[in-house]
Amino acid sequence: MDQHPSYAILSPFISKYPRAAGSSFQAYNDLLYAQQWRDLEVIDLPKCSRCGFRGRKPDTNAILSVVPCSLSESLSLSWIHAAFEEFGGPQEVYIAITVEDSSIVYYKISQGIVKPPL
Amino acid sequence: MPRKVPLYAAHPLLVDSFATDMVSEQVTANRRAERKQFKLDRARAIAQAAEAAEAAFKEGRVLTVEETGIVIPSAATWKPSRSSSPPPPLSNGPPTSAAQKDQPLDEDIPENLEHLQLTLQEAFFLLWTLDCLTVVDPNTNCAMTLQQIWQRFQQAHLPPYPSHPADPTSLRFDNPFLINYVVYHHYRSLGWVIRNGIKFCVDYLLYKRGPVFHHAEFALVVCPVYEDEDDRQTCPFDLQNVDPFSWTWLSTVNRVNSQVQKTLVLTYVTIPARSRCNAELLASPACLQYFSIREVVLRRFIPARMRD
């Protein structure tokens, strides 16, 4: 892992939050290389005991927030609430759920009730 | 999670553009395009009805549904209108499909672009029992030995994420890799096909032949049990279902699975005590013999309906 170019950017958070290291590393690489997000930055989310990410999807301008977690973790509403807080109160936050076989699934969580676009 | 049906390698039909509609991704794309059209039609009808009602209200009347003549479609009543254009064939399909229409089937089978993603348990089973997998260390480019792989897979769960190998005595019997491997190995060697069960709120699904042939019969929830309760206090892992669960949770999971005709099985895995079993045993798969598995099958009993 330490040979990987992303390690240099994530290493302060990997040492600070070792239990979230695996899912953070996987989510970061997926966003950067597979999803090809631009302007990807790493945000410290101390109340969630991990780092999160903010960036833009290709060909869009909106800044999106992602917090990684593993399938084997249990989340709570206060954890999700803390993520919204520490990202600075965006309308939506994406949760990146990572699995041991390197699958990753993103769930979008919005503040309050949101009507679908159509 | 990996696809159930391989797309490229097993589908010589793909080179024939006639058959692109049969591919599951194309079926899904068609269905989604139709549904999007339905939603557009419905939104338009709702907007029309709202406009008509507003106009009537301004005149001091209240309209009934029959008066407007506008029908708001529902999923059950909507039909695709005249020429709703079908979605374009998948752009990431084999580039040769259009050009290859008249060529014989066995020419130019597209390169297999899919890769298989294995969980640590699946990978170890293939390595150990079937000897059909090689694991290469990315740093040294050498194949790893079974012993190294066994320890490395356990270390994957140990915090801190190991960029430096931990010593074998720091390994523990309650490592999630071990517990899941015990379950995986047990059922796989009995002939079941095991897949991930997250779709149905459980840990694993057991199939008789495979997901493509028949739906899963059994849904497994893995419940680790500590032989020595003191070991639990020092556990550094995220281990699920160790604590007694509530009736609410149990009923929920059972209900979800009964709806889809699966039987819920609680698989209890006993974790040997550190006082009884030395941590050095964990250096090799021989430590698996110290685990034991018991199953409890759950079915909901409804006295009024199940008289026989």
Beta-sheet strand order (sheet of B218-226)? B193-196, B204-207, B218-226, B263-271, B292-298
- Pairwise CA distance, residues B215 & B206, whole Å: 9
CA dist list (Å): B260 to B187, B197, B222, B294, B295: 21, 13, 20, 24, 21
Which chain B residues contact residue A71 at CB under 8 A?
198
Span A60-98, pLDDT tens digits: 999 999 999 998 888 999 999 999 999 999 999 999 999
Which CATH architecture does the domain made up of B168-298 adopt?
A: 3-Layer(aba) Sandwich (3.40)
Which chain B residues contact residue A3 at CB under 8 A?
138-139
* Out of B36, B117, B159, closest to residue A101 by CB: B117
CA dist list (Å): B108 to B3, B12, B94, B97, B100: 23, 10, 10, 10, 9
CB contact under 8 A, A100 and B160: no
Which chain A residues contact residue B240 at CB under 8 A?
72, 74
Q: Is A51 helix (H, G, I), strand (E, B) or coil?
A: strand
Task: State the smallest CA–CA distance between residue B118 and chain A in angstroms.
Answer: 5
Catalytic residue among B157, B185, B186, B262: B262
Give residues with Cβ within 8 angstroms of B182, minimum separation 6.
B269, B288, B291, B293
The pLDDT-based confidence of B292 (bands split at 50, 70, 90) is very high
Q: Show which of residues 21-40 on chain A sit within 8 Å of chain B, judged by CB atoms.
A: 21-22, 25
- Pairwise CA distance, residues B13 & B106, whole Å: 10
ipTM over the 0.90 cut-off? no
B263-271 vs B292-298, strand pairing mode? antiparallel
CB contact under 8 A, B161 and A15: no
pTM over 0.90: no
Dihedral sign for Cα atoms in the order A110, A113, B1, B6: negative
Q: Determine whether B215 is an active site residue.
A: yes
Domain borders along chain B are 12-114, 168-298
Residue A102 zone, left/alpha/beta (φ > 0; ψ -120 to 50; rest) = left
Which chain B residues contact residue A14 at CB under 8 A?
160-161
Length of chain A: 118
Mean pLDDT score, B126-148: 91
Span A25-66, pLDDT tens digits: 999 999 999 999 999 999 999 999 999 999 999 989 999 999
Domains and CATH numbers, chain A: 7-110 (3.40.1350.10)
